[in-house]
Amino acid sequence: MDRRKAKANAEPKETIDPAFKEQAESIINELRKKLTPMARPEIAKRIRDSFGDDVPCYGVEFSQVNRLAQDAMRRVRSSGLPLAMAIADPLFKSGNIEEGVIANIILSSQARLIGGDDFEVFEVWVKHLTNSLNTDALSSHIVSRALAGKPSLVKNLTIWAKDQSKWLRRAASMSFVPLVREGRFVTDALSVSDVLIEDGDYFVQQGVGNLLMEMTRLNSDRVVEFLVERKDRANPLVLRIASTKLKPEQRTQILNR
């Protein structure tokens, strides 16, 4: 591996603010001690049936997970983003779906403080994702904030779109969703969609389709033109999802080959 690639793949030396590390570890240990006895085999089976047999999980009802997260969120609120990120770091890196849900809820409470300079840390977390639930939440609630604050990060998402990990590829599209709903980053989102439109993975197809569908709210003509030009090579699932909210005549134009 050459130096440029090594630098690109290197993780930040420290993603946790040392000033908050001890407090974060205490909260994380407490959360894990509460999650463990809540686990139920039948819930774990249900989670794996929905998100994949290889998804790490405790087997805790998401309603219970949400309550734990809300309690932790209240404790973090006064300390701001540094403590929230210090807690989220090991939770995301675990790959565990319930821990990822908690991390996303805690971080979302500090979303207004997120800027482009935080992206380096988020990029590390994305590489540890194991399921669509955590991927979509981290991408659309957290990564999108960094992208909005630093548009040049689009180049990083283009790299994600070509990664071997299906979760990075899905994240590349889902990170644009809240932005295109506002009519922002449309050209960039279409560029990333073009990279992914032939992707053979189901979860990636879902992500691209959802992005394009959300884009049709304010830019339906551009999306229709984009899809018509590519419908012979686009994955059929992408076309079906993307055209969900279009007028019947537009859907016909896209889906008829």
CATH number, domain of 122, equals: 1.25.10.90
What are the tokens at 13? 């030396």
Q: Are 155 and 190 in contact (CB under 8 A)?
A: no
- Is the pLDDT reported for residue 7 higher than 80? no
Determine the pLDDT at residue 19.
79
Determine the pLDDT at residue 12.
46
Identify whether residues 161 and 181 lie together within a single domain.
yes
Residue 7 lies in a domain: no
* pLDDT digit string, tens, across residues 78-92: 889 999 999 999 999
DSSP state of 131: S
| Strand runs labelled E in 61-126 | none
- Is the pLDDT reported for residue 13 higher than 80? no
Identify whether residues 86 and 137 lie together within a single domain.
no
Identify whether residues 58 and 127 lie together within a single domain.
no
- Is the pLDDT reported for residue 9 higher than 70? no
Identify whether residues 84 and 141 lie together within a single domain.
no
Identify whether residues 242 and 149 lie together within a single domain.
yes
Identify whether residues 47 and 137 lie together within a single domain.
no
Determine the pLDDT at residue 5.
42
Rounded distance between C-alpha atoms, residue 251 and residue 243, angstroms: 6
Supply the range of the domain harboring residue 39: 16-113
For the chain, the domain total comes to 2
Identify whether residues 43 and 109 lie together within a single domain.
yes
Residue 235 lies in a domain: yes
> What pTM did the predictor assign?
0.92
Residue 49 lies in a domain: yes
Residue 209 lies in a domain: yes
- Is the pLDDT reported for residue 221 higher than 50? yes
Determine the pLDDT at residue 3.
44
Identify whether residues 64 and 48 lie together within a single domain.
yes
- Of 80, 84, 169, nearest in space to 126 by CA: 169
* pLDDT digit string, tens, across residues 162-204: 999 999 999 999 999 999 999 999 999 999 999 999 999 999 9
- pLDDT band of residue 15 (cuts 50, 70, 90) is low
Determine the pLDDT at residue 18.
78
Rg of the chain taking only CA atoms, in angstroms: 19
* pLDDT digit string, tens, across residues 119-169: 999 999 999 999 999 999 999 999 999 999 999 999 999 999 999 999 999
For residue 7, the tally of other CB atoms under 10 A from its CB is 9
Residue 8 lies in a domain: no
- Is the pLDDT reported for residue 2 higher than 50? no
User: Chain-wide mean pLDDT for the chain?
Assistant: 93
DSSP characters over 184-216: -SHHHHHHHHHHHTT---HHHHHHHHHHHHHHH
Determine the pLDDT at residue 206.
98
- Is the pLDDT reported for residue 8 higher than 60? no
The percentage of residues in the chain with a pLDDT greater than 90, rounded to a whole number, is 89
Identify whether residues 204 and 121 lie together within a single domain.
yes
Residue 191 lies in a domain: yes
Residue 9 lies in a domain: no
- Is the pLDDT reported for residue 98 higher than 60? yes
Identify whether residues 89 and 121 lie together within a single domain.
no
